[in-house]
A and B are shown apart, each in its own frame.
Chain A
Amino acid sequence: MQAKLSVVALSIASVFALGACGEKEAPKPVEAPVAAPVAPPPKPEVTVKLGHVAPMTGPQAHLGKDNENGAVLAIEELNAQAIEIGGAKIKFELLAEDDQADPKQGTIVAQKLVDAKVTGVIGHLNSGTTIPASKLYSDAGIPQISGSATNPKYTQQGFKTAFRVMANDVQQGKALGEFAAKQGVKTVAIIDDRTAYGQGLADEFKKGAEANGLKVVATEYTNDKATDFKAILTKIKSKKADLVFYGGMDAQGGPMAKQMADLGIKAKFLGGDGVCTPEFMKLGGPATEGHYCSLPGMPLEKLAKGPEFKDKFVKKFNGEIQLYAPYVYDAVMVMADSMKRANSVDPVKFLPEIGKTSYDGVTAKITFDEFGDLMSGAISIYQYKGGKLEYVTTVGAPVEVAKAEVAQAVAEVKDAAMAVAGAATEAGKGAVVAGAEAVKAGADAAKAAVEKK
């Protein structure tokens, strides 16, 4: 009963949505959904199940819900468009699961989605759960697109099914290092929260900062449950850093900014996407004023579809976007787009198409490199001003020419990778990975070289 009702509701919703869209669509499909439950020769309707995984409980539950909202919005819109693939009408359905940000739960939930024979998976949120789950999806041949797992390892395991629509920690850390150098900063202190995310980002920032001639005067650590940072901040104060970089999430970053102010530290605070949230300013209060953070991609306001997405989101969920919702939305859209281009909802057929994606998303123009990472690793820097995030600049966006050259270089390395893969035997699996990592390093170097040009 429940299911039937929702089908009817959806068809009605789609009629309205189509009406609202204007005259672009032919009137024919408007009839179809209404007629579908009754009309004798209906177009065959195929339900495409997409899994979505994020923590719905625990400290990151607010981000998990935000991700899910992004996916829900995308699915609703797709259904409203009444897409036809392979001659059948497609109805998307979201199977939302909670992995509690726990790797063990991550695999159980992944198995559940594999059993449910989902066509694709959006998620997970955390790198810690995404990585072990990606093996299951890869074994089952289910494409996976994460909108928020930024650990480079996720796509370096050599799985053909793993993609992400967000710049990884390497890309982001590098850009942040570049930005810090441009601010006239000479010395930096680095703090990370010892999670896979924070540690990865901080390490990459360190490399980026040092490559740009900055001196790292202190490296300190905290954890993702801490509330008191005074001891490490006091130490940083004694080292007289011009800038404090934090690799971690908003729940710690906010109080940290506040405690910096309490201790009379004048240094600027800089963080990654984890602290680029309204929550950060809420928790940090006035102390966040003038500090910086970064988000992969370009700001929503600067993108063609950004403001529209924001309006839709706020209207539907009656709340602000927390963080990754637009990326998750894009992840769903990329998945659907690949199905359309392959004209099939069979993962075997549309998986190759995901790699060839060139989709104009809300967050960026999405194209993947050979690992499934986002090709254009543009990172935007924001400043907290008057309780709002203000766009400052975009770092690391390769120009079109450079992009082509990178693609060329990447293609060459890719051939090398293929050769390595071909030669490998079962026992030599490790070698392949090592090889792949080397290749990746090569690609990065090539990219860097091109960027320098």
Chain B
Amino acid sequence: MDIFLQQIINGLVQGSIYALVALGYTMVYGIMGLINFAHGEVVMIGTLVTISVAGFLIKAGMPVIFAGLAGLTVSVLVCMALGWGLERVAYRPLRNAPRLTPLITAIGMSIVLQNVAMIIWGRNYLTFPPLLPSVAFEFGGAHFTAVQVIIVLVSALTMGGLLFLVYRTKLGMAMRATSQNPAVASLMGVNINRVIAAAFIIGSALGALAGIMVGTYYEIAHYQMGFMLGLKAFTAAVLGGIGNLAGAMLGGILLGLIEALGAGYIGDLTGGFLGSHYQDIFAFLVLIVVLMFKPSGLFGEKTGDRA
């Protein structure tokens, strides 16, 4: 039983990380119907910037908590700028292009960002400075740490904040209007460019936050860390119904739980045939099954035919 509880905790934490990244995807998708493939790279940049800033300040003798906050601030700002830049350079000029075109620029940007990061931070794995004290708890035989609790809390709060933003603020209303029909929204006085830029900036800030969480949790970073994470988070977003904030959150947590429980139990259930080597497949299989019955994801609205 303690093992089951432990696996639930593992899945929940991993899922919260997916969710946090998935929120960034869904934020942009919800408004523009565009997969920002480079979002995983934004997360990576967020982690690496934090390492540089916080690492430098800690070395300079600043208390860890302030260095951490400074790192957080700088990396959020850098990622916001990056998100804005991405939108301006790679997506805005293509708003009326065929649907696949921005996908290719996104892939191009993803390659560019990875290589820039490699030039700046080098090819080696970096260690993330321990920003939070490592407090460990034990409950019913399951171990968990303060960092894990914080990750779950942060992603829940973030989702709450985003829901508030989208449904209770003026910017949110403009966002919803843009997502429904950009042409009409602009006729109603919504500055579409600004709304879309805002979505990218907010999404990227979330990316930075996710990057810092990933960094504090695993305490390592690498210029290629964003790719797989982005892919998983994207899967989570689709699972929940892409464009739907609560769906992204639930999709992320579901994905985390599937992976943890799949790796933990399916091996024994199938006599070792489907062991943890198929961990990455469970998620995709569930996704395919879900989409077969609910073609727009668990919580997605039925989408029309996008040109």
Contacts and interface: CB of A to CB of B under 8 A. Distances in A.
A380 B300 CA distance: 57
Contact of A263 (B143, B228, B259, B272): B143
B275 interface: yes
A325 B278 CA distance: 35
Given A255-B219, A262-B143, A225 B263 contact: no
Contacts of A10: none
A220 B276 contact: yes
Contact of A237 (B3, B14, B127): B3
Interface stretch (A38-46, A55-63, A119-127): A55-63
B127 A235 contact: no
A225 B279 CA distance: 13
B110 interface: no
Contacts of A238: 3
Contacts of A223: 280
B276 A230 contact: no
Overall SS of chain B's interface = helix
B224 A285 contact: no
A131 to B, nearest CB: 22
Contacts, number: 101
A231 interface: yes
Interface string A274-286: 0000010011010
Contacts of A220: 263, 267, 275-276
A251 interface: yes
B260 A231 contact: yes
B260 A230 contact: yes
Interface in A51-69: 57-59, 61-62, 65
Interface string B133-158: 00010100001010000000000000
**Which interface class (under 10, 10 to 19, 20 to 34, 35 or more) fits A?**
35 or more
B10 A62 contact: no
B10 A227 contact: no
Contacts of A230: 6, 10, 13-14, 260
A285 B134 CA distance: 13
B99 interface: no
A263 B14 contact: no
A65 B145 CA distance: 37
B9 to A, nearest CB: 8
A231 B264 contact: yes
A219 B275 contact: yes
Nearest to A220: B276
B11 interface: yes
Which A-B residue pairs are the 3 nearest by beta carbons?
Answer: A221-B277, A61-B123, A231-B263
Given A231-B259, A251-B222, A263-B6, 4 more contacts: A219-B272, A232-B276, A258-B219, A285-B127
24 contacts: A58-B123, A59-B224, A61-B124, A62-B123, A220-B267, A220-B275, A221-B275, A221-B277, A223-B280, A228-B10, A231-B7, A231-B10, A231-B259, A231-B260, A234-B3, A234-B7, A235-B7, A235-B267, A235-B276, A237-B3, A254-B125, A255-B220, A264-B138, A283-B127
